[in-house]
Structure 1
Amino acid sequence: MIKLNVQNETTRLRAVVLGTAKSNGPIPTIEEAYDPKSLEHIKAGTYPLEKDMIAEMEAFNKVFEKYNVKVYRPEVIPNYNQIFSRDIAFVIEDKLFKSNILPDREKEIEAIQYVLNEIDENKIIKTTDDIHFEGGDVMLWNDHIFVGTYKGQDYEKFITARTNMKGVNFIKQLFPNKIVKEFDLVKSNTIAKENALHLDCCFQPVGTNKAIIHKEGFRDINDYNYLVNLFGMENLFHITKDEMYQMFSNVFSISPEVVVSERNFTRLNNWLQSQGFIVEEIPYAEISKQEGLLRCSTMPLIRD
């Protein structure tokens, strides 16, 4: 049996689901795009090739091997995008939450059924269809659970709005002893540089007291200020709109000391190293064209 345990974003990782780019399917049509960045690359003819994405994910897998992390991969569904395992489910403490994902993507959870079969079924949480959340919007930080959402009245119009206030309140009810803090994110269906698809597209903690942040990703300045007060301005690495677009905040922590990052994120990687982190740099720029990066491709099951 798998004994789930995830208390925060950075403690030592022991077991993880890493997505797969095998049999990723044809390049989507413009109508099939889920997010503005994929749309941009579909239109430009620069949408990533399967062979390049497989190679990038293999580089990520090798880092996990180096640190003796147990890696589960989804069963391959022919011609289907299964890269972003963070979207389909996520773990809080000892419970696994199944996301109410975009209808086109529901098969993805079936591909990790063999993993779910090893988890106590009482620890697997399902919800009703009106409650929305995805793992990219949910972050654990000691006594906090941070949740990205969108509070606009026009929520239904945004394919990029993935977690609603019903989802936030569902988590609040289940974890009364935690501070569940929601963040109202900037959304756009059409302009990638104006869209924080998930909370991890504009914010993520690293180490024990630091974080990467994009101030303009938050619709409410009070939400940004909350994080400044919690972490301290001196512990925050601020990224530009262009760096958010490249997914600088979507790195992945294997431990408080070790961060996996994209090799082209020079400014960020230099800062991380100056703060004493070991930075495992890998190629992941092709996958980033789908508005997801390292954190999006992983679903941690066990951390110390």
Structure 2
Amino acid sequence: MMQLHILNETDPLKAVILGTAKSCGPVPKPEEAYDPKSLEHILAGTYPKEEDMVNEMEAFARVFQKYGVEVFRPSILENCNQIFSRDIAFVIEDKLFHSNILPDREKEFDAIQHILDKMDPTKIVRPPEEVHIEGGDVMPWNEYIFIGTYTGKDYPDLITARTNKEAVEYIKAQFPHKKVKSFELRKSNTIAKDNALHLDCCFQPVGRNKAILHKNGFLIEEEYQWLVDYFGKDNIFEITKDEMYQMFSNVFSISPEVVVSEKNFTRLNNWLRENGFVVEEVPYAEIAKQEGLLRCSTLPLIRA
């Protein structure tokens, strides 16, 4: 029986689900786009090709192999985009939460059933229907759980708003011993550079006490400032609007010392190395066109 264990974003990774780009289907029609960045590339004719995305994900898988991480992959569904396994579920402590995602993505969860079968079924939880939550908005950080949300009145009209206030209350009730801190994110259905799709699109902790952050991703300056004060200004790598658009904050930690990053993120990768990190660079620029990157494609199960 697999013992799930996730307390934060950076403890040494032992087991992970990595999505797959195989059989991800034809280029979506503009009206089928889930986010403004995909839409941009659909309209420009630069939407990523399956072959390129498969190669990028295999490069990522090889890094896991190098560090002895056990990697699980979803069953391949015909013509279905299964790259972003972070959306469909997430683990906090010893529980796996089944996200209430956009309804037509439900089959993606069924495709990890063979992995769920290795877990204690009482530890797999489905929140009630009114709780909208995706793994990209959820970050366990030791005594804290950080959650990205959007509570504006236009929530129902924004396909880019994925986690609601009911979700914040639900997680608080599930983990009464944790401090749950929510952050209002800036949303746009149409302008990719003004859209923080998930919390990990504008913030991510690295190492034991550092963070990557983008001020404009947050709607409320005090909430952004809270993170600056918590991590300390000198421990923060502040990214520009363009870097957020390229997904600079969506790197992935294999341990407190090792970060997997996109090979073109020169400014970030230099900063990480200057701060003592080992940076494993992979090509991920094609997948990035769908407004998701390395953290989005992973679902960590065990960090020791």
TM-score calculated relative to the size of structure 1: 1.00
Match of 1:16 in 2: 16
Q: Which runs of 5+ in 2 are unaligned?
A: none
Instruction: Report deviation, 1:129.
Output: 1.5
Instruction: Report deviation, 1:128.
Output: 1.8
Match of 1:191 in 2: 191
Match of 2:28 in 1: 28
Q: Aligned runs of 1:42-191 on 2, under 5 Å? A: 42-191=42-191
Match of 1:285 in 2: 285
Q: Which one-letter code corresponds to 1:204 in the other structure?
A: Q
Q: Which runs of 5+ in 1 are unaligned?
A: none
Provide Cα deviations, 1:154-199, integer angstroms capped at 9, x if missing partner. Answer: 1001000000000010000011111100000000000000000000
Structure 1 stretches of 4+ moved >6 Å: none
**Counterparts of 2:97 and 2:250 in 1: how far apart (Å)?**
21
Instruction: Report deviation, 1:130.
Output: 1.0
Instruction: Report deviation, 1:220.
Output: 0.2
**Counterparts of 1:142 and 1:130 in 2: how far apart (Å)?**
27
Match of 1:229 in 2: 229
Match of 1:300 in 2: 300
**Counterparts of 2:19 and 2:269 in 1: how far apart (Å)?**
24
Instruction: Report deviation, 1:6.
Output: 0.3
Provide Cα deviations, 1:46-97, integer angstroms capped at 9, x if missing partner. Answer: 0000000000000000000000000000000000000000000000000000
TM-score calculated relative to the size of structure 2: 1.00
Q: Which one-letter code corresponds to 2:293 in the other structure?
A: L
Secondary structure at 2:104's aligned position in 1?
helix
Provide Cα deviations, 1:207-238, integer angstroms capped at 9, x if missing partner. Answer: 00000000010000011011011100110000
Percent identity of paired positions between Structure 1 and Structure 2? 69
**Counterparts of 1:128 and 1:144 in 2: how far apart (Å)?**
23
**Counterparts of 1:228 and 1:283 in 2: how far apart (Å)?**
30
Match of 2:211 in 1: 211
Secondary structure at 1:122's aligned position in 2?
helix
**Counterparts of 1:104 and 1:240 in 2: how far apart (Å)?**
33
